[in-house]
Every structure is written in C-alpha cells, then in structure tokens.
Structure 1
Amino acid sequence: MKFLNRTIFFLFFILSVSSLQAQKKSKGVHSSSKKEKGLIVHKFDPADTSSIVRFPKIDFKNINVISDYYKPAKLAEISRLKKNKQWDKFMAELYDYVSNFGIGNFIYDIDKIWQLARVSESKGELELAKDLYRIIIKHYRGDLQKALNHYDSIAYFDKVLYASIEDYYRLIEKRKQIDTLKPPKDILLDMGEGVNSPYDDYGLTISGLNDDIIFFTSSRNQDTSKIANDIKGAKENEDIYISKKDHDMDEWTPAIPFKHLNSKFNEGSPCMSRDGSKIVFARCSSPDGLGDCDLYITYKAEDSTWSEPKNLGEEINSYAWDSHPAFSRGGDTLYFASSRRGGFGGSDIYYSVLDEKNKWGKAKNIGPVINTRDSEVSPFPHPKFNVLYFSSNGQLLNFGEFDIYKTYSEDGKWSEPYNVGPLVNGEGSEFYFTIDAESKWLFYAKSVELNNKNLDLQSFPLPMDAKPNNTIRFSGRIIEPTTGEVFKGVVTIIDLDYGDEVAPRQTFEDGTFEFDLIDKRNYLVIVEGDNFFKIEEMFFLDGDMDLELKATNVSKVVTFKSIDFAKGSSKLEAKMENNLHLIIDFLVSHEDFNLRITGHTDSDGDADKNLALSQERAQVIKDYIISYGGLDNTRVEAIGMGNTAPIVENELTEEDKHKNRRVEFKLFRPGFE
C-alpha cells in the first residue's frame, strides 16, 4: 500500500454552529498551576531539551483572572522611559505590563507586545524576542508580514526545513529493494467493515486495559421518515458506537450502538477515562442543554451499567458550542473545545479540574501560546507522557488547513506547539485523532471520496515527529574534509530498530541539519544532494549527538581507493561495488549528468598492452554502471589512457606505481564542462 497520501482530506470540519453537530464543529488546551490536579509534570533538564521543547520566556498569569489589563499610571511611566531612551528600565517595565495581559489585551494591545519584541531584539534578548514574535503572528489581526520578516531574520535555525514529501516516497520505493533495511510499515489501514459504514464514521477514542475498545461517532443511523426528508439535513443522526478488538483474528468486531448514551438527539465525540469509570460526550439540541452542543457525563456502576447521562453544567458548558472532550491520564482534568465568547479566536481549548469534593471546577482557557486568533480543537492528552496533542489552523507552521500539533507541560506552562510533520498532516485537515498508550498507532478519520464524503476510520503507525518521546537532538553538518566546503542536501533518517518513519529534511545554508529522535536506538542517516555523492552512515543515538558527515564533491575528478584492480586484471571485485553504487545512485537521481570513466596504468610492461588494459578496466566499469542503473549507454564514456597521464612522472617505488594505477570518475553536464 502506498505510503500516507499527503493530501489527507477529511474536511468535514464545519465552522458554523449547527444543532445537528455533536462533533463536526470547529473549535477547542491546559495551562494550570502545579497545585491543580491532573497536570502531568515532567522536569526538562536544559541539557536534555531538544528543539521540540521550547518553553516561552514570558508567562501570562492573568489569562483566567481578568478580561483585560489597563493601568494608566504604568503606561505613563513606560512612555516616559521610552522618551528618555532608558531602554533597560523601559524593557523591564514593559515586560511586567505585558505579562499581566488578559485575553482582551491580545486583541486591543498587541502593539505593546510588538514594542517589547523590538526592544528585546535590539538588546540581544533573542529568545524572548522570538517568543514575542510568535505571539504576534498567532494573535495579530492585521498584516503579519512585518512580524514574519522580523521573526524569520532571527529564527532561521529554529525552523524545521521539511523536504519534499516526494523525496520520501522515492526513498520508500528504494527501501523495498534493500534486504538489509526494514521496509516501511503498512500505512493508512482501513479499520474494516465491522467499524466503517457507507456513512460518515469519525471521532474515535480508544480505551481499555490493552487499548482494545474503541468508541466513535457515526451517522449511519439515518432518519428516513418523510418529515426528515422534507427538512434538509434533518436525517443526519449522530450516534455513538462501540467496537472491541478480536486479538485472535486481529480485527475489530462489528460496531454496535452505545444505546445508553444515544437518544433522539445527536451524540458524539465520546471519551473514556483511563480507568474506565466515566465517559464524557457531546449532545446537541437537547432540552436540558445550555447551548448548541453541551458536554454530558455518565459513570460506570459496579454491575457494569452506566448512570443516566448528566449535563456537566454551567461551570463547563456555555451558551455556544462545547465538544471534543478528553480526559487527562488520571481522569481528573477534562480538556475540551468551545466557541464561547471571551476567547482568543473562533474556538479555543479549555480545561476543567476536579476539586476535593469531586466537582468539576470552572472551565479555564489554556492560554495564548496554544490558542490563537483562529481555531484550536481536538485536544488529546497522551495516556502515558506529559504531551498534549491538538489541532489548529492558527499556528506558525501549517501544511494545509487544520494540522495536528503537540506541546509539553512543565510548571504550569506549555511549550511552543510543534507541528507533527508532513507524514501526518497534509493539504486538508487533520483532527479527531487518538494515539494508543504505547505510541505505536495513530487513529483518525479520512474521506475516501471527493468532497469529504464517506468519512472512514483509519489507522497507521505513528511517525517519529508525532512520537511523545522524540526529545533527543541529532544534528550534523555536511562538509568536504579537505577544503571545508559545506553542502546543501536532503537528509533522511531510518530507524533500524523499530522502523518508525522519519520525515526527510533539508539542510540549512551552512550545511547543518537537525532531527529530534528517540534515544537509545540504531539509525541510518542518508544524505543526498546535487553536487556531492550520497552519504550513508549508521549510528547509535546515546544522548544529544552532533555528527560531521564527509562529502565528496562530484564536480571534481574522483578516484576511489576500493577501485584497485589486481595487477594485469580487468575483473571487478566485490569490494568495488559500494563506491560504484554511489556513482549509479547519483546518475539515476540526476538525469542531466553524464559520466566519464578514465583508466590509467603504471609504466610497467608494454605501453600498448597497458593502453588496452586500461580501456578494458574502464569498459568493465561502464558496463556494470549501465546495466545495474538501467542507464542509456550514451550517458557513460569509457576511456583508456594506459600510462600516458601519470601522477608520478618517475616511478621509483611501488607506492608511486600504485598512485598511477587508478580509475578516475568525472561527472559533468553536457555542454557545461
């Protein structure tokens, strides 16, 4: 099966509120203090922190305290300091003022964040400046180009330069031919007829002790009554279904309705606590609802029956759309998405924490690092790691519409969201996803027809960028060892132990690159470019690693130590093949290049015989390259020079003769030599 199509279309995401949508609404992550229950705290040692985990250098402590912050006296003092060019005090006072912002300030006072970003940049506080420019880019509602230009000028090496996904597909095809490497896993697997139906199936959550139970939303229960047919869209009836994994057959059992939760209204977006004791789901247009869609909870009794679903009340629900619930690992924090007023954008992610009396606390906004002026939805706390996944169309790096991101927590803060990469995110929208406890599989919905019709549930192996524990930095540089010349290219990593897929990346202008990988594994790094031979090197990752990869420039005449024929022989030996394949790979990947092979001998023996022998050696190499690479014969020349072009004119030693006895390779573009 072809690897994950980058155009993963399931754009059933609807931006307008509808009473017929328990799940299909855009909008809904958690920034609490350490004292609040449910926060999974993991301390990051700076020495272990990779580029994935960047905690902002400013904290907005008033987000859930006040709607906006306004202190005229402080503003007057800040203005005076600026006028007098007391830049250190100006920066300190402005930082204090901005850190007190409420949500409203991100709409009306974004200019103050801009001022702080500029003075931070001018004072050399580049990490703070980067954080502030990121905030501006996420929340400013005007022309962003100026902020983007400033950010790009100081954050070039913070970017993730993903290579073209076609490079990945090409490598995938090649890996199928290499017996020594693990081939790619099967990707994008339909969950089967027992789960999927001819109608939309989406909004999956996975639970059970062995992740062997799934709950999902389906519109298969169509209302075919005359009244429904007369009302456009009325026959769409969302219900919750359940399926269990048959481990003997390695398949999911036929889905059945979760009758206790379903009603004549629309239900969807179910989530179960890890201990299996409670389920929260969305119900729309119910008479006891506070808004369009509300969150309800049901508890499991000792006899395995479920209590009557109860509206979670005004502490959590609002007059608007509330959906996409998800429990923290301990089940005492509930994340969800809401389109209520007073947020940062179209929909925000909120959270509520259980108090000592087992009551859900007032919902809080997760804050401006994660929520943006656009929409955030589908929060999903990882069941084992302190990582929160969510979907957004307002973050800095975006491949399509809504993409999946991840963020790490520490001391009540969330790290800068990280796009999980093009092997998950495509040109469409990705949300309603779930990851199993072992971080092996990702589940979400995908349209198998045009116009986002017939959504089906799919699963595929979780790639490296989406893993919760790929927090070890592997970096390197491509360099010519004798001249110090650096090269640009495409770098691909292959996980040799577990086969986790890693999206390829481009190098920076200085020939450097970075990946975030999982520690204590064996990897293969492959580097390809237009002006050097492909590099392949295996390594074992044991903590942060920086590797210098030595490149050979193809624009020079190249000789290989392995291309050393036995005296008087023109027979190819196995030791020569690796370097010959460097040539073959380059010619296959660069169709505008030709190759000239020149054979040379030492001065021993008859000159005419030496000329013939050198021609034979060059021809044998040409025949091998043409045959193995499937190349046109005209792209490779074979020339024998005998002993007419020695490196050492007067051969006095065997070493002198060895230097002269060589085969040279010259890659060139016809007409550009």
Structure 2
Amino acid sequence: MRLLPLLISTFVVFMLIPLYSIGQMQHVPLDSTQGLKISKTAPKPEIHLSFPNINKIPYYRDTKKLSTIQKLEKRKQYDQVLPLLESYVTSFGIQNFYKDTYLLWRLGQLFERTGRKEEAKELYRLVLKHHRTDARGVYSYYDSLEQNSKNYYVPLDYYYELVEYRKSVATFKPPKGVYLNMGNTINSPFEDYGPTINSENEVFIYTSKRNLQGLNGRANEDLYFSKQNNGYWEEAQSFGKPINSIYNEGSACLSRDGQTLYFARCESPDGYGNCDLYVAKMQPDGKWGDIKNLGPEVNSNAWDSQPTLSLNEDTLYFASDRLGGFGLSDIYYTYKTKNGSWASAQNLGPTINTRESEVSPFYHPKYQVLYFSSRGQLYNFGDFDIYKTYYVQGHWQEPRNIGPLVNGRGSEYYFTIDAGSKNLYYARSEANDIQNLDLYSFPLPMEAHPLAVTKVHGVLTDSITNKPLSGIVSIIDLDNGIEVSSKYLRPDGSFEFELIDNSRYLLLIQGPDFFTIEREISLRDDTSIQLMTTLIDYSIPMVFENIVFDQNQSDIKEEMKPILDEVALFLIDHPTFRLEIAGHTDSAGDKDFNLVLSQDRADAIKRYIMQRVSMADNRIDAIGYGSSKPIKEEKTAEDRKVNRRVEFRLIKPEKPERGF
C-alpha cells in the first residue's frame, strides 16, 4: 500500500484580473450534512458560503448569467453585480474551484468593498487553496489583511531557549516534554506509521514495512499491535492471518467495543482500485474474520485508505486520490444509511481539501473534532502539517495548524490522540525524507487539544504614546500542565490564544523595551485584555521610589522585593543584557562611611538578584559612589532624600536580541 498518493503539482503565473473583466464563472456546493454531527465543544461559528452542488455536479456554467454579470461590471453597477455573482459562485462544482478561481477572487473584492470583510477573507483563502498557480501576489494581498489576526509563532528552538531562561522563576512551570520516539518495542529499522489506539488506551495498532516477504519481492505492509502494561508498551506483534496477507494491509481504525476493524488492503484480487477499504469482525473464538470489501459505493478505481470513524460510528472518513477531487488527494466520507449499508462516498469540501494533498484523517474518540495532514493549507511549517477542524452549524471551520510543537520542518502524518486527550501519537520524517518514518508520542500541546476553543485576546500598547509594542507572549497552564507555544505580538500589538475554558493561566509578555508583564487569568468564556506599560529609557538610569534603605542600613526590605524581582526577571528574559547598580548617599556624615555604605547597598541588591535567579556574576556591576555624585544641591531634607538613591542602568547588547 502506498504511504501517500502521488504528490505532484504544477505552477503557472497567477494574474490578478481587474474587477471589470469577468469571464467564465461557476458554482460550488459544500459537503452533504448527512452523517455529520455538530460539535458541542466547537468554537463560535465562522462566516461561510455554502456550496450545495459539491458532490452533485462536477462543473457549473451558465453563459447567460455570466454575460449579464459582465455587462453590469462594464457599467460599474457593482451593487447589482454582487448578488448575481454570489449566486453564481455558490453554484460551483468541484472543477470550478480550479478552473474559475478568479471568480472567487472577484466576489471577495466585492465583499471587501461593501464591508463584508470576513466573507472576503474566506474567499481569498479559497483562492489561495485552489488556484493551481504561483499565487504570490494573492498571498501578499491576503497577508496584508491577515497580519493583525494570524499567529506569529516563535521558532521552536528559540521557544525552548526561553523555557531554559525561566526555569528558575518560581511562577513558571516548565513544559512536560518534547516529542519522543516510541522506541524499538514499537519502531523498527523500516517505516512504521499509521497509529490508532483503542478507546481504553490499552491497545496500540499501527502499520509497518518490517515484513520483507511481500508480493513480487517487495516489503510487505502489515498491521501490528502492542498492549500497554503498567504504563509501557509491550513488544509489538503482527495481527497475523487473515488480516495480514501476501498483499499490503495498514491504516486501521477500531470500533469502541473492539469488535470491528476497518483497514486498507492493496493490490488484492477482490479490490476495485490500487487500495481499498475493508472491514473485519471479531469472531466468537477471539480471532478476526468475516473480512469484506466496503464495495464500490465507498471504494474507487484509485487509492482509498486511512479510515477513521466518527464519534457515533455512523460516518467513516478516509483519504483518496480518485479523479474528480480538488487536488492530488482529498478527504472523503461515507455514512451509514437506514438499512445499515454505506452510502456513496462524498468529498468533504473546499475548506478542508485543496489543490495539493490532504491525507490521514483522524476523528477524535470523545470530541467531534477532525484532524488531518495537509500540505495545501495556508500556513505550513514544513511539507505536510497536521491541522484540526470543527464542524459547526453545517460547515467545516477553517482548519487550524496545531502549531510548531507538533509540526516541524519535515512531514507529519497519521496523527492520533488517546481518549483522554493526554497524549498524541503520530508518524514523522525528517525534512525531504518520507522514507524515514518512525512513531512518536508526547503530551498533547494546547494548540492540538480539542477543548482549546475559548479565546483570550489582548493588546499591549505604550502608556505614553498609545502605540503598539513588540515582544513575545507566553501562556503558562497552571491547572493542566499543557504546553502552549509562544507567539510574537502582531504588528498592531495584539495577541490571541485559544485555551481550555474554566482553567487558570499565567500570561507573560516579554520585550526588550519594557519590564516583563505577568498576569494570572482564571478563564471563563472568551476574554479580552487591554494592557499598557511604560518603556525603558536606556539613555538615563532608573530610580525606583520603593528602593529606599533604612538610615545607615543595607538590608533588603520587603517592599523592595517586587521591584527587584522585576529587574531579575528582565535579566532572565534577556540573557544578553547587563545591569549596572549604582549606590549613592547624601553628604551628611563621614565620606568614607558613606562610600562603604553605598557599596554595601549596591552589593546587597546584586546578591538578592543573584539569589533570585541564576546568572553569571559578570552580568551585574555593583558600584558605590557615596556622596560623590549628588543630583541636587542639599539645601533641604527633601534634597538630601533625592540624593540618597540607588540607580539601575540596563545596558543593551550591541546587536539586538534574537526574535525582537
């Protein structure tokens, strides 16, 4: 069985046609709603166009309507063009998406002109997903609209540098771990992939090419399983006959009761195409049997594989590279009819599928969330990335990349999650090497969690100018220990995270020009936060009102500690910066005593910071000046108070820090 369908694409120049020059147009249906359930844990519904002709007609064309639209455009009667063009576009069939993509673009322009920006952006996304061209001009235009709403993830290696810097900070809870190879009880020197796990998290099933006794001398793909014993996976075992055969078997999914197994078998004499979907039943003697091909309503004369069951087990999703789809391979689904048979397979629609390849769907065993792997969505970190999508009010929501903690520079496929949403399992390869597949497992990050749908939105601005600031935003999960990738502030100073409701989080915002902002959030529904801070002026030393010592004393007082903690945290967050502490006294008393006292005070502050956080001694200079550098002539007690001070000067590195 081929791991993936043939991955080829073509590129030509994408031309932005002026709004007045309309040519062919068409109409598109979304997927049928039969067999699809609305998720109770889904985010708020997005604005979507419906394309009811998907799965009904391959191509829509009405020359008379196109001519009318074109005439109205030439007269610039756009108020009349818009409803006609919207009706035409929503009549699209699948072929229209790549043959008449410019009509999507045109309708998006009209939506944008009339203030319907969310609908415009949806259409621009469809253009980018389906136009079989080099669409750099469209990407540039779309990015300009999305720059203050998209995610700017911190690169993964820098993210873990941030984690290391902050491990000594008491309020910070380091992440649980990074992805881990599942080891040689599961993996072999050959490709291992296609994981699934039963509803009790006790049996792990996957595909392997370790059997070298295949048909025509090729490596044979077979199904293997491992049982969990005291938290560890036992040595994997082959399913054996009759599931495994001289043909290729793999990509299985199991019913909740463990009695029904769906899987793919390739090059079998009873198959309809290259690979077909099959079902097997557990027999009374505990062995698998009654193996049946799902038939021509589900299978095609092409490649059909990678099945996954819906929550109610009445819908089966799978990948196929059959003709008539949007791209090189698409996600399809079939549902059980009233007589218990499977209905004709249908395409999942233009929001999920693209001109490229969508493969390895996975439906969460507890929550109604669909995950899949794609290289045709808008924001990929590598080749194939894993996405999640929710079905809300009759529409699949825009797929969300589950972030850099899962998706790397290589390819990620065959994603699966245990029923408790604690751990994920998936196959990954190094960049440009799909032959190097191993199975990995690690704690589920926040971006991949099915319940992470509650939004926290915020904006950080300068308290003086009200201008947006740049920096890095981190979220620490205080209740669940789920890792959340850090993000850069957007150009307008905003940020947004999707988190789990009814949980506590620590919000951290770090930047080179302000002290770190910390705020604890007890999340209850969508939350908006307006934050303001004062910029650090590196040209002058800082003097804090609370840093005042008792007379002739150098002991650190409790009221000093919050300010000193902020300084310490800043140095941790910015490991290339240095600090100079200057102690000063007034002119009263003995000069030599004052010099020693000022040095003692500067040293006391340095000791406190060094004890608070671990850092190299040479990053902090502590100097006592005594009364040698007054800033006011001492005529009054208030003048003497001003001169009794500690000055802090943060020294920037010559080169800017990474990431800011």
TM-score (norm: length of structure 1): 0.86
In structure 2, do the counterparts of structure 1 residues 651 and 60 end up closer, same or farther at CA, with 3 Å as the change threshold? farther
Aligned to 1:120: 111
Unaligned runs of 5+ residues in structure 2 are 9-28, 656-660
Does the 8 Å contact 2:582/2:646 carry over to 1?
yes
Task: Tell me the distance in 2 between the aligned counterparts of 1:489 and 1:335.
Answer: 41
In structure 2, do the counterparts of structure 1 residues 486 and 661 end up closer, same or farther at CA, with 3 Å as the change threshold? farther
Deviations 1:595-650 (A, max 9, x none): 33233345655566445533432344346557865446486362525385356965
In structure 2, do the counterparts of structure 1 residues 461 and 253 end up closer, same or farther at CA, with 3 Å as the change threshold? same
- The question of 1:39 aligning with 2:34 is answered no
Deviates more, 1:107-116 or 1:252-261: 252-261
- The question of 1:219 aligning with 2:209 is answered yes
Q: Pick from 541, 550, 567: which aligns with 2:551?
A: 567
Deviates more, 1:170-179 or 1:371-380: 170-179
Task: Tell me the distance in 2 between the aligned counterparts of 1:143 and 1:647.
Answer: 67
Task: Tell me the distance in 1 between the aligned counterparts of 2:652 and 2:189.
Answer: 55
Deviations 1:440-486 (A, max 9, x none): 11001245999555633221111000111111111223334455454
Q: Pick from 101, 105, 108: which aligns with 2:96?
A: 105
Q: Pick from 293, 297, 315: which aligns with 1:311?
A: 293
Deviates more, 1:97-106 or 1:525-534: 525-534
Q: Pick from 632, 638, 653: which aligns with 2:623?
A: 638
The count of residues paired between Structure 1 and Structure 2 equals 630
Aligned to 2:650: 667
Task: Tell me the distance in 1 between the aligned counterparts of 2:286 and 2:5.
Answer: 36
- The question of 1:511 aligning with 2:493 is answered yes
Matching of residues 354-365 of structure 1 within 5 Å: 354-365=336-347
- The question of 1:583 aligning with 2:564 is answered no
Q: Pick from 577, 582, 592: which aligns with 1:598?
A: 582
Matching of residues 1-20 of structure 1 within 5 Å: 15=6
Does the 8 Å contact 2:410/2:430 carry over to 1?
no
Deviates more, 1:494-503 or 1:120-129: 120-129
Aligned to 1:5: none
Does the 8 Å contact 1:610/1:643 carry over to 2?
no
Give the counterpart letter for 2:627 in structure 1: G
Task: Tell me the distance in 2 between the aligned counterparts of 1:91 and 1:460.
Answer: 49
- The question of 1:346 aligning with 2:337 is answered no
- The question of 1:245 aligning with 2:228 is answered yes
- The question of 1:195 aligning with 2:186 is answered yes
Shift in Å at residue 583 of structure 1? 3.1
Does the 8 Å contact 2:31/2:54 carry over to 1?
no
Deviations 1:60-86 (A, max 9, x none): 111111001111111122112212222
Q: Pick from 426, 435, 445: which aligns with 2:408?
A: 426
Aligned residue for 1:217, secondary structure, equals strand
Task: Tell me the distance in 1 between the aligned counterparts of 2:218 and 2:356.
Answer: 31
Task: Tell me the distance in 1 between the aligned counterparts of 2:169 and 2:574.
Answer: 21
Shift in Å at residue 530 of structure 1? 1.7
Task: Tell me the distance in 1 between the aligned counterparts of 2:379 and 2:432.
Answer: 26
Aligned to 1:7: none
In structure 2, do the counterparts of structure 1 residues 303 and 90 end up closer, same or farther at CA, with 3 Å as the change threshold? same
Does the 8 Å contact 1:421/1:503 carry over to 2?
yes
Deviations 1:122-147 (A, max 9, x none): 22221111011100000111231221
Deviations 1:188-208 (A, max 9, x none): 234344333333221111114
Deviates more, 1:55-64 or 1:625-634: 625-634
Aligned residue for 1:220, secondary structure, equals strand
In structure 2, do the counterparts of structure 1 residues 648 and 373 end up closer, same or farther at CA, with 3 Å as the change threshold? farther
Aligned to 2:264: 282
Shift in Å at residue 15 of structure 1? 2.9
Aligned residue for 2:492, secondary structure, equals coil
Deviates more, 1:472-481 or 1:117-126: 472-481
Task: Tell me the distance in 2 between the aligned counterparts of 1:305 and 1:578.
Answer: 66
Shift in Å at residue 56 of structure 1? 4.1
Does the 8 Å contact 2:249/2:266 carry over to 1?
yes
Aligned residue for 2:159, secondary structure, equals helix
In structure 2, do the counterparts of structure 1 residues 481 and 279 end up closer, same or farther at CA, with 3 Å as the change threshold? same
Give the counterpart letter for 2:542 in structure 1: V
Task: Tell me the distance in 1 between the aligned counterparts of 2:542 and 2:249.
Answer: 68
Aligned residue for 2:312, secondary structure, equals coil
Shift in Å at residue 167 of structure 1? 2.9
Does the 8 Å contact 2:129/2:378 carry over to 1?
yes
Task: Tell me the distance in 1 between the aligned counterparts of 2:620 and 2:32.
Answer: 67
Give the counterpart letter for 1:241 in structure 2: Y
Aligned residue for 1:471, secondary structure, equals strand
Deviates more, 1:271-280 or 1:591-600: 591-600
Shift in Å at residue 376 of structure 1? 0.2
Aligned residue for 2:496, secondary structure, equals strand
Does the 8 Å contact 1:599/1:642 carry over to 2?
no
Aligned residue for 2:289, secondary structure, equals coil
Q: Pick from 418, 424, 427: which aligns with 1:442?
A: 424
Does the 8 Å contact 1:477/1:547 carry over to 2?
yes
Does the 8 Å contact 1:194/1:253 carry over to 2?
yes
Aligned residue for 2:290, secondary structure, equals coil
Does the 8 Å contact 1:598/1:641 carry over to 2?
no
Task: Tell me the distance in 2 between the aligned counterparts of 1:383 and 1:341.
Answer: 30
Deviates more, 1:166-175 or 1:628-637: 628-637
Aligned to 1:299: 281
Task: Tell me the distance in 1 between the aligned counterparts of 2:228 and 2:365.
Answer: 19
Does the 8 Å contact 2:58/2:93 carry over to 1?
yes
Deviations 1:22-56 (A, max 9, x none): xxxxxxxx96444x235244486xxx73xxxx634
Matching of residues 41-80 of structure 1 within 5 Å: 41-42=39-40, 49=44, 55-80=46-71
Task: Tell me the distance in 1 between the aligned counterparts of 2:450 and 2:340.
Answer: 30
Does the 8 Å contact 1:558/1:666 carry over to 2?
yes
Give the counterpart letter for 1:39 in structure 2: K
Does the 8 Å contact 2:391/2:397 carry over to 1?
yes
- The question of 1:558 aligning with 2:542 is answered yes
Deviates more, 1:505-514 or 1:419-428: 505-514
Does the 8 Å contact 1:391/1:405 carry over to 2?
yes
Deviates more, 1:432-441 or 1:608-617: 608-617
In structure 2, do the counterparts of structure 1 residues 162 and 262 end up closer, same or farther at CA, with 3 Å as the change threshold? same
Task: Tell me the distance in 2 between the aligned counterparts of 1:567 and 1:130.
Answer: 65
Aligned residue for 1:317, secondary structure, equals coil
Does the 8 Å contact 1:533/1:583 carry over to 2?
yes
Aligned residue for 1:390, secondary structure, equals strand
Does the 8 Å contact 1:596/1:639 carry over to 2?
no
In structure 2, do the counterparts of structure 1 residues 652 and 478 end up closer, same or farther at CA, with 3 Å as the change threshold? same
- The question of 1:206 aligning with 2:206 is answered no
Does the 8 Å contact 2:306/2:361 carry over to 1?
yes
In structure 2, do the counterparts of structure 1 residues 592 and 273 end up closer, same or farther at CA, with 3 Å as the change threshold? closer
Does the 8 Å contact 1:593/1:669 carry over to 2?
yes
In structure 2, do the counterparts of structure 1 residues 187 and 592 end up closer, same or farther at CA, with 3 Å as the change threshold? closer
Shift in Å at residue 346 of structure 1? 0.4
- The question of 1:368 aligning with 2:368 is answered no
Does the 8 Å contact 1:555/1:666 carry over to 2?
no
Does the 8 Å contact 1:126/1:154 carry over to 2?
no
Aligned to 2:509: 527
Does the 8 Å contact 1:588/1:631 carry over to 2?
no
Task: Tell me the distance in 2 between the aligned counterparts of 1:495 and 1:551.
Answer: 24
Task: Tell me the distance in 2 between the aligned counterparts of 1:450 and 1:69.
Answer: 38
Deviations 1:343-364 (A, max 9, x none): 1110001000100000100000
Shift in Å at residue 520 of structure 1? 1.3
